[in-house]
Amino acid sequence: MKDSDWKIIETLKNSSSITQAAEALYMSQPTLTKRVQQIEREWDIEIIRRNSKGIILTPAGYCLAEYAGKLNVIFNEIPGRLEKIKKGTAGELRIGVPNSFGRFSLPALLQKYKKSYTDSSFQVITMLSSEIGKKIEEGKLDVGFVKGEVPVSCKKYYIGEEQLYIVYSREFEAEDLPDLPMITYLKDPFTQDIINTWWEEMFRTPPNIGFRVNHGDTCREMIINGLGYGLFFSDNFFRDTKQLYIRPALDRAGCPVVRNIYFIYQVEEMDALKQNFIDFVLDKRERG
């Protein structure tokens, strides 16, 4: 069946005669009658019956008319939907983010983006920064945000930095750390390298690791319960927790220890949807 056949069937349902249906469809009566007969042969059914008052749909005709109403709505939506996809105002974007970025930074970013591109949707995948770069290079992600100096062959833009903090449940000095139990949580190797370099510069002995956990939230709760101290690159983990003591991690020169944040994507695999999001992120970076 042609797409127009579904419009014919829906019109027949709402018409009392072939003449009325033909007028609504801007067709001649013989042309409409011939097309209805072709549809009936194609489905091997009878769609309409004639009576003294005009035409009525058969049960099979009513069945087709029910589907016709739904399909015609879809057919009418398709051109507009495709036009939005061509312009990049609709479609799904695959975004890779580290867990902390997905939790603390991405929601506000997407909320602002959705105000301009209301029909866009997102598949957000959280993973380590080193994995995000690989997924983008493999074409399994469209764009990503990474933390630390992750080596990638795709386009990379600096969008900000995060400072390293030492967090403990009691007052402390930085020189106390080697004697205190450290609670460490899973971090990307490139982030861990920054911490290791800082520690080796500041202390002669390795850290006293008391606990290894998977998530920063778990680490924070263990710190609150007095089990040790932790190192965080985002103050969002403890910003609203009043019972903790916090110090910025400083190097020997007294400078903060920081981790850079980058926005990455493949230039070769570009479409309008992806380009719109890239322009939005980079414009936001320029505006600060």
Report yes or no: 277 and 89 within 8 Å, Cβ to Cβ.
no
DSSP letter at 250? Answer: B
pLDDT score for 267:
86
Report yes or no: 127 and 96 within 8 Å, Cβ to Cβ.
yes
From CA 54, how far away is CA 238, in angstroms rounded?
Answer: 76
Average pLDDT, rounded, for the chain? 91
Report yes or no: 102 and 126 within 8 Å, Cβ to Cβ.
yes
State the pLDDT confidence band at 142, using cuts at 50, 70 and 90: very high
E strands, 72-221, in order: 90-97, 119-126, 143-147, 155-163, 165-168, 181-185, 208-213
SS3 content of the chain, % helix, strand, coil (to 5): 50, 25, 30
State the pLDDT confidence band at 265, using cuts at 50, 70 and 90: very high
Nearest-CA neighbor of 92 among 81, 103, 108?
81
State the pLDDT confidence band at 287, using cuts at 50, 70 and 90: low
From CA 161, how far away is CA 256, in angstroms rounded?
Answer: 11
Mean pLDDT of 91-117: 93
Indicate whether 180 pLDDT > 90: yes
pLDDT digits (tens, 9 = 90+) for 181-210: 999 999 989 999 999 999 999 999 999 999
pLDDT score for 237:
86
Show the domains of the chain with their CATH numbers: 3-86 (1.10.10.10), 90-155+263-283 (3.40.190.10), 165-256 (3.40.190.290)
State the pLDDT confidence band at 107, using cuts at 50, 70 and 90: very high
pLDDT score for 173:
93
Q: What's this model's pTM, rounded to 2 decimal places?
A: 0.73
Indicate whether 286 pLDDT > 70: no
Report yes or no: 130 and 239 within 8 Å, Cβ to Cβ.
no
pLDDT score for 146:
95
Q: How far is CA 19 from CA 45, 62, 130, 142, 239, in A?
A: 22, 19, 68, 54, 74
Report yes or no: 153 and 137 within 8 Å, Cβ to Cβ.
yes
pLDDT digits (tens, 9 = 90+) for 8-63: 999 999 888 899 989 999 999 999 999 999 999 999 999 999 887 888 899 998 89
Tokens of 242: 């009043």
pLDDT score for 96:
97
Which of residues 261 and 51 earns the better pLDDT score? 261
Mean pLDDT of 228-235: 93
pLDDT score for 219:
94
